[in-house]
């Protein structure tokens, strides 16, 4: 795959996707979104990929939002279609069945924060800054930011960020539950790879089951979500990895999961 706006590296079952437009603070123009769509589809279909890491080139930005010049040329109908396209791409990332980690190395604004929120986990450098500043442009978030943010941090806090366009520091984002962890900027990628490596040691089948159950259950009534969990618990038992995991525990050895 030829990529002009992304870098894609696969090592030890970990695919690292770097948005590589540092002069534009890694802004998401249409060409970059198209490449993200292709990369996500490729990683989803590649059995050698177990975990994905998303980050931005350079030290300033993860992804500092959309390409405003490109956006400003859209008609209202084109804008709605553009938002639906971005939502679909990020939705496929969220639902791909493989864990993803956003390594937020700088500004994660607008579409950049929306990309990070579509990932399974988020680790931020202590120098990172996050926000949904669309309101300052007379717009609202369009890539599901108004929907994922309240699900992560609650409606009240989400409304404050959406309505004020406020940019917050990494430590505040961690306190809100927007990011899972904050680390020294120099350690960010090492920590992301360490966490990704830990995930590759578990069953790919049950990792996918667990993530899907958490996400789907959050949208259900509690009793329905518990029923879903019980059913998926049974599905996990049907895998070879469950037998391997329990057998290894009883035999006091390390489990060797095959993802089946």
pLDDT tens, 217-230? Answer: 999 999 999 999 99
- Please say if the pLDDT value at position 154 is more than 90: yes
Mean predicted lDDT score pLDDT of the chain = 96
Tens digits of per-residue pLDDT, 102-129? 999 999 999 999 999 999 999 999 999 9
What's the pLDDT score for residue 28?
A: 97
Shared domain for 101 and 122, answered yes or no, is: yes
Query: Phi and psi dihedrals of 137, rounded to 5?
Result: -105, 5
Phi, psi angles (nearest 5°) of residue 107: -65, 125
Confidence bin at 29 (pLDDT 50/70/90): very high
Tell me, yes or no, whether 125 and 237 share the same domain.
no
52 and 100 Cβ atoms separated by less than 8 Å: yes
Shared-domain flag, residues 191 and 215? no
Q: Indicate if 232 and 181 belong to the same structural domain.
A: no
Q: What domain count does the chain have? A: 2
- Domain membership of residue 170 (yes or no) is yes
Tell me: pLDDT of 5 over 90. yes
Sheet holding 100-104, edge to edge: 6-11, 14-19, 51-56, 100-104, 121-125, 181-183
Residues 218 and 243 in one domain: yes
The answer, yes or no, to whether residue 138 has pLDDT greater than 80, is yes
- 144-153 burial code (b ≥16 CB/10 A, e <16): bbbebbbeeb
User: What pTM does this model have?
Assistant: 0.95
Instruction: Provide mean pLDDT across the span 13-18.
Output: 98
Domain range for 185 = 6-200
Same domain, 20 and 142: yes
The mean pLDDT of 54-78, rounded to a whole number, is 95
Q: What is the mean pLDDT of residues 169-194?
A: 98
pLDDT of residue 2: 86
Is 258 within the bounds of a domain? no
- Rounded to an integer, what distance in angstroms lies between the CA atom of residue 53 and that of residue 43? 11
Say yes or no to pLDDT of 260 above 90: no
Q: pLDDT tens, 77-90?
A: 999 999 999 999 99
pLDDT score recorded for residue 259: 79
Tokens 């992301």, located at residue: 192
Q: Please give the share of the chain, as a percent, with pLDDT higher than 70.
A: 100
Same domain, 195 and 208: no
Selecting among 35, 114, 174, 211, the annotated active-site residue is 114
pLDDT of 142 reads 97
Is it the case that residue 1 has pLDDT exceeding 90? no
Of the candidates 134, 166, 229, 244, the residue annotated as catalytic is 134
Asked if residue 158 and residue 118 are part of one domain, the reply reads yes
Q: Is the dihedral of CA 96, 101, 102, 103 positive or negative?
A: negative
Cβ of 57: how many Cβ atoms within 10 Å?
20
Residues 208 and 196 in one domain: no
What DSSP letter does each residue of 197-231 carry, written as one string?
Answer: HHHHTS-HHHHHHHHHHHHHHTTS-HHHHHHHHHH
pLDDT digits (tens, 9 = 90+) for 208-219: 999 999 999 999
pLDDT of residue 130: 98
* Tokens 């920590």, located at residue: 191
Element (H, E) at 71: helix 68-72
Is position 255 within any domain?
no
Tell me, what's the pLDDT at 161? Answer: 98
The answer to the question of residue 224 being in a domain is yes
Residue 144 inside a domain? The answer is yes
Residue 133 has pLDDT above 90, yes or no: yes
Per the annotation, the verdict on 134 as an active-site residue is yes
């Amino acid at each position: 795959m030829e990529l002009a706006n992304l870098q894609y590296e696969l090592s030890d079952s970990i695919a690292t996707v770097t948005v590589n437009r540092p002069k534009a603070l890694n802004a998401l123009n249409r060409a970059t979104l198209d490449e993200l769509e292709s990369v996500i589809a490729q990683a989803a279909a590649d059995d050698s990929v177990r975990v994905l890491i998303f980050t931005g080139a350079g030290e300033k930005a993860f992804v500092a939002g959309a390409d405003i010049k490109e956006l400003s040329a859209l008609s209202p109908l084109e804008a709605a279609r553009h938002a639906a396209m971005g939502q679909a791409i990020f939705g496929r990332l969220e639902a791909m069945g493989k864990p993803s980690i956003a390594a937020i190395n700088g500004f994660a604004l607008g579409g950049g924060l929306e990309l990070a929120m579509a990932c399974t986990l988020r680790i931020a450098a202590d120098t990172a800054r996050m926000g949904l500043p669309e309101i300052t442009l007379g717009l609202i978030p369009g890539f599901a930011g108004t929907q994922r943010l309240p699900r992560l941090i609650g409606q009240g806090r989400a409304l404050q960020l959406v309505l004020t366009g406020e940019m917050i520091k990494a430590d505040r984002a961690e306190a809100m539950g927007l990011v899972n962890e904050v680390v020294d900027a120099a350690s960010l990628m090492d920590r992301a790879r360490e966490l990704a490596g830990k995930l590759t040691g578990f069953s790919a089948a049950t990792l996918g089951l667990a993530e899907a159950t958490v996400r789907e259950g959050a949208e259900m009534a509690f009793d329905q979500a518990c029923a879903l969990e019980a059913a998926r618990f049974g599905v996990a038992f049907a895998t070879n990895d469950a037998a391997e995991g329990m057998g290894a525990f009883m035999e006091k050895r390390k489990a060797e999961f095959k993802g089946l």
